[in-house]
Amino acid sequence: MVRAVWAVLRMVSCQGAAALNLNVSGSVIDAASSFRSVHVPFRAAHSKVRHLSSAVRMPEITTDHLDKKQVQLLSEMCILIDENDSKIGADSKKNCHLNSNIDKGLLHRAFSVFIFNSEEKLLLQQRSDAKITFPGCFTNTCCSHPLHTDSELEEKEAIGVRRAAQRRLEAELGIPMAQVTPDEMTYLTRIHYKAQSDGVWGEHEIDYILFMQKDVELNPDPNEIKSHCYVSKEELKEMLKKAKKEEVQITPWFSLIAETFLFTWWDNLHDLKQFMDHNKIHRM
């Protein structure tokens, strides 16, 4: 039963059906009318998805039905932070991404990398169907978390976060680490956001935005990535329109960044310094 519910939730999480009745164990849950409180201001485009997700009562947390490689990654230790990005501890990737903990305020440090090629096209990835959160969604080049290790905890000039980005660009997209060194990444600013993926899993992070322009070699891991593509500004605008019509699915953080800062930053790839703001945390 749990497995069947999960399948439906997964579909809903990225597809955002308008209204849904789930008949779970003989009881009908009206997703549209019974959703709990909405925790943070969030774009209208995604509120529907979040309402649907939060409507369903918490199923037992079992990972049996999930991809084994992705489940292994759930034991990695993320960096717990307070609302001002001061580190306060460590917890597993699993605990950091459970809505039951997020609802209590659990927050971790993360990053989002945007790589542009020499034609100024942005590299997008489509998350694999094996991903536990936001499977099948298109998103920016790479999004993940620094780990609670000495090397990735180091905060001076966000070097720990940039090292984590280098590690994940290799792991997900197969970009040789020598082609994406931390000093080549521009750390712009931080974004604090929260979003549910489905009834069980979600995100609540302070996200370091890292930009980089370089032609890189790619060798994506199919367990992480379903497809990838380079898009121009016009092509991305088309994709965002399609996402609004639910013809394509994109992650909530990418949608937020695309609706706010992305195009301005993109217009100024050669002069990003003016947008570097390491004091403010943008609450979205």
Residue in 143, 152, 170, 224 annotated catalytic: 143
Q: List the one residue from 15, 17, 82, 276 that touches ligand NAG (CB under 6 A).
A: 82
Nearer to ligand NAG, 24 or 248 (CB): 24
> Cβ 24 to ligand NAG, closest distance in Å?
8
Nearer to ligand NAG, 24 or 171 (CB): 24
Q: Considering only 81-89, 142-150, 204-212, 258-266, which stretch makes contact with ligand NAG by CB under 6 A?
A: 81-89
Q: List the one residue from 30, 83, 221, 277 that touches ligand NAG (CB under 6 A).
A: 83
Nearer to ligand NAG, 84 or 274 (CB): 84
Known active-site residue 143: yes
CA dist list (Å): 199 to 94, 105, 137, 247 = 14, 17, 17, 22
Nearer to ligand NAG, 96 or 122 (CB): 96
CA dist list (Å): 228 to 58, 70, 124, 133, 222 = 33, 19, 6, 18, 11
Label the pairing between strands 108-116 and 202-213.
parallel
Task: Compute the distance between CA of residue 106 and CA of residue 67 in angstroms, rounded to an integer.
Answer: 24
Phi, psi of 185 (to 5 degrees): -95, 135
Does position 84 interact with ligand NAG (CB under 6 A)? The reply is yes
38 and 47 Cβ atoms separated by less than 8 Å: yes
Q: Tell me, what DSSP letter sits at residue 182?
A: G
Task: Compute the distance between CA of residue 176 and CA of residue 161 in angstroms, rounded to an integer.
Answer: 18
Does position 23 interact with ligand NAG (CB under 6 A)? The reply is yes
Beta partners for residue 186, in sequence order: 211
Query: Contact positions toward ligand NAG, by CB under 6 A?
Result: 23, 26, 28, 82-84
Which residues belong to the active site?
143, 205
